[in-house]
Amino acid sequence: EIEQKALFIIFGGTGDLAKRKLYPSLFQLYKKGILKDNFAIIGTARRPWSDEHLQEVVKEAIEGDEAAVSLGAEFASHFYYQSHNVNDTEHYVTLRKLAEKLDEKYQIEGNRLFYLAMSPRFFGTIAQHLKSQKIVTTKGYNRVIVEKPFGRDFESAKDLNDSISKYFPEEDFFRIDHYLGKEMIQNIMALRFSNNLFRAVWNNRYIDNIQITLSEALGVEERAGYYETAGALRDMVQNHILQIISLLTMNMPASYSESDIRREKIYALKSLKKYSAVKVAENFVRAQYSAGDGQIGYLQENEIANDSTTETFVAGKLFVNNENFSGVPIYIRTGKRLTKKTTRIDISFKEMETSFFDSKKLGRNILTINVEPEGKVFLQTNIKKIGQGFDLVPSLMELQLNNENVVVPEAYEKLLLDALLGDATNFAHWEEVAYAWKFVDSIRKAWDDGNGNLAEYPCGSMGPRESEELLERDGHQWVFDG
Ligand code: NAD
């Protein structure tokens, strides 16, 4: 990769995301020479830090990396700190001067990336000031990267979007969904569109059902305030799960290009089947974790009202009514305090109609994309059992190994590089976000109107009984049982 010239301005530079994800990912780009001499990073936040203090924080953030011993100090020297209250116009003047100074010092040629890693309620104010105080340049590019959550329903997402797109056109507007930066999620397109074998069977004639599981072992932790305003449906389904569904079910794009891929993803999301309120109650399960496995229940957590009805788990049965997938149930589930942290997709193929074998002995073919923790793809097949007679046994084919010698880049590293290159393929386009919210809003509204009970599940389980029943009704079961 060639060296990139860029000035990053990170709003929320003292925050958890900056320390855990952004600084280490920027260091990876530095190690690879993508960021080399002509770059600088301004961290801004309310706290009165000095450049030196930020540089110490950056060094701490990367200290687990061996290369930091030799490269860390030089890398950190490109970081500057600007104490800043996002509501104070004066502070943007100071910021502009610092940006101009660094642009000159590092010969950056006017390329700017504004990373908004703080509460979305400030996004509009920041975007407005970036423009009015001329922090956006006329020489290079100006790109704005925003973190989730992107709204809490369609209306608020639209307001948020309008407040930024007034100042930044869609092509300069990068909405993070970090799942799209994960290697195994990017592999969905590789598997589907580079293998004739899979391409041929990737449709409702051969696929019986799809199962998507995003489970977390942790509870609500420090994020109670936010989580109470969101819940699992908004926090995980609207973005990550619906993005995964669009990649799994979209038609083959005309080319590997941002606009063609985007068009098909939008079309898939537009094709999500909407349910009436009564059908929502039948096809979606919501639940809260209760005490178990040595852990307290959601209602006993700090800062959670003891009559909170926020769901920490959701399971559902969805349909994408496009040509290839209509009629294929897509079962999803996500939740906190489940057995373990896992992200996986199980694609279960139809049973074979044959009299060649006693069909009862045939296991289904199941393609599993294990995104986390393994980062592998498995195909369940049937083979002959060794020995006399002709018994069949299931066998697991491993389609892709994580080569131990190759370090899989973190999602944030890949996404930051994409943003530097101006490639928004792996970011969420406004129309995708909009269709996803409209779908989620229809579920949410049915619940708010009293359809569907709030179930319970003990910590350390794979969710409530109702989640199993959702599949059992159709004669299925979750492939992944924890
Ligand atoms: P955080 O609370 O750790 O940091 C927030 C930052 O905003 C701090 O640097 C704080 O100083 C700054 N800030 C707050 N009010 C300000 C003001 N008025 N003026 C200037 N600066 C102000 O939050 P975080 O966990 O780093 O999250 C940042 C964003 O990223 C949020 O939108 C969050 O939803 C999103 N996000 C975080 C994670 C994560 O793992 N931490 C994951 C996904 C999304």
User: Domain of 102: which CATH number?
Assistant: 3.40.50.720
Q: Which residue has the tokens 């999301």?
A: 269
Per-residue pLDDT band for 266 (boundaries 50, 70, 90) equals very high
Nearest to 231 by CA among 294, 278, 288: 288
Report the atom number in ligand 1 closest to the C-alpha of 178: 43
Q: Which residues are annotated as a binding site for substrate?
A: 178, 182, 216, 235, 336, 341
d(CA 334, CA 165): 31
Mean pLDDT throughout 122-139? 96
The verdict on the CB of residue 191 being under 6 Å from ligand 1 is no
d(CA 186, CA 415): 12
Mean pLDDT of the chain: 95
d(CA 225, CA 231): 11
Report the atom number in ligand 1 closest to the C-alpha of 120: 32
For residue 325, what are the CA distances in angstroms to 144, 191, 247, 353? 35, 17, 12, 20
The two tokens of residue 178 are 């970090």
pLDDT at residue 402 above 80? no
Catalytic residue among 78, 91, 129, 240: 240
Give distance in angstroms: CA of 312 to centre of ligand 1.
22
d(CA 135, CA 129): 8
The verdict on the CB of residue 43 being under 6 Å from ligand 1 is no
Query: Which runs of E-coded beta strand occur in 291-355?
Result: 313-318, 330-335, 342-349
Residue 31 lies in a domain: yes
For 58-88, how does the pLDDT look when each residue is reduced to its tens digit (9 = 90+)? Answer: 999 999 999 999 999 999 999 999 998 999 9
Question: 140 and 212 share a domain?
Answer: no
Pairing of strands 112-116, 284-290: unpaired
Contact at 8 Å (CB) between 379 and 366?
Answer: yes
Residue 41 lies in a domain: yes
Domain holding 292: CATH number?
3.30.360.10
* ipTM here: 0.91
Q: Point out the least confidently predicted range of 177-181, 352-356, 412-416.
A: 352-356
Mean pLDDT throughout 300-308? 95
The verdict on the CB of residue 382 being under 6 Å from ligand 1 is no
d(CA 314, CA 130): 39
Residue 478 lies in a domain: no
The verdict on the CB of residue 46 being under 6 Å from ligand 1 is yes
d(CA 296, CA 391): 48
Give distance in angstroms: CA of 238 to centre of ligand 1.
21
d(CA 479, CA 482): 9
Nearest to 313 by CA among 303, 328, 301, 298: 298
The two tokens of residue 323 are 């040509």
9: helix, coil or strand? strand
258: helix, coil or strand? helix
Contact at 8 Å (CB) between 164 and 123?
Answer: yes
Output the pTM of the full model: 0.96
Q: Phi then psi for 173, rounded to 5 degrees?
A: -115, 110
The two tokens of residue 214 are 């995003």
Give distance in angstroms: CA of 45 to centre of ligand 1.
9
Residue 437 lies in a domain: yes
For residue 409, what are the CA distances in angstroms to 208, 264, 341, 415? 33, 26, 19, 10
Nearest to 238 by CA among 319, 154, 298: 154
d(CA 296, CA 308): 15
Residues 36, 38, 44, 47, CA torsion sign = positive
Q: Which of 9, 10, 11, 17 to mutate to test the pocket of ligand 1 (most atoms within 8 A of CB)?
A: 17
First vs last C-alpha separation in the chain:
40
For 159-173, how does the pLDDT look when each residue is reduced to its tens digit (9 = 90+)? Answer: 999 999 999 999 999
Nearest to 176 by CA among 92, 245, 120: 120
**What pLDDT is attached to residue 399?**
83
Mean pLDDT throughout 277-292? 97
Contact at 8 Å (CB) between 176 and 149?
Answer: no
Question: 465 and 328 share a domain?
Answer: yes
Residue 121 lies in a domain: yes
Q: Point out the least confidently predicted range of 3-17, 207-221, 386-400.
A: 386-400
Domain hosting 404: range is 180-408+429-472
pLDDT > 70 fraction of the chain, expressed in percent and rounded: 98
Give distance in angstroms: CA of 18 to centre of ligand 1.
8
pLDDT > 90 fraction of the chain, expressed in percent and rounded: 93
Nearest to 145 by CA among 109, 181, 94, 93: 181
Residue 161 lies in a domain: no
Tell me which range, 327-336, 346-355, 388-397, is most confidently predicted by mean pLDDT.
327-336
**What pLDDT is attached to residue 18?**
97
Q: Which residues are annotated as a binding site for NADP(+)?
A: 12-19, 46, 148
Residue 52: partners with Cβ closer than 8 Å, 6 or more residues away: none
Q: Which amino acid residue places its CA nearest to atom 15 of ligand 1?
A: 46
**What pLDDT is attached to residue 287?**
98
- Report cis status (omega within 30 of 0) of the bond before 120: no
The verdict on the CB of residue 274 being under 6 Å from ligand 1 is no
Question: 46 and 187 share a domain?
Answer: no
pLDDT at residue 281 above 90? yes
Give distance in angstroms: CA of 202 to centre of ligand 1.
40
Q: Phi then psi for 244, rounded to 5 degrees?
A: -60, -45
pLDDT at residue 360 above 70? no
d(CA 229, CA 399): 41
Question: 114 and 190 share a domain?
Answer: no
Q: Which of 16, 82, 122, 427 to mutate to test the pocket of ligand 1 (most atoms within 8 A of CB)?
A: 16
Q: Point out the least confidently predicted range of 29-43, 159-173, 391-405, 409-423.
A: 391-405
**Domain total of the chain:** 2
Question: 198 and 318 share a domain?
Answer: yes
Give distance in angstroms: CA of 395 to centre of ligand 1.
46
d(CA 287, CA 274): 21
Question: 209 and 76 share a domain?
Answer: no
240 is catalytic: yes
Question: 330 and 198 share a domain?
Answer: yes
Question: 143 and 187 share a domain?
Answer: no
Residue 382 lies in a domain: yes
d(CA 79, CA 53): 10
Mean pLDDT throughout 31-52? 97
Report the atom number in ligand 1 closest to the C-alpha of 84: 20
The verdict on the CB of residue 147 being under 6 Å from ligand 1 is yes
**What pLDDT is attached to residue 401?**
62
Q: Point out the least confidently predicted range of 126-140, 160-174, 361-375, 462-476.
A: 361-375
Question: 187 and 129 share a domain?
Answer: no
The verdict on the CB of residue 7 being under 6 Å from ligand 1 is no
Domain end (from 147, 172, 202): 147
Question: 103 and 194 share a domain?
Answer: no
For residue 152, what are the CA distances in angstroms to 219, 305, 343? 21, 20, 23
d(CA 347, CA 414): 26
d(CA 475, CA 470): 9
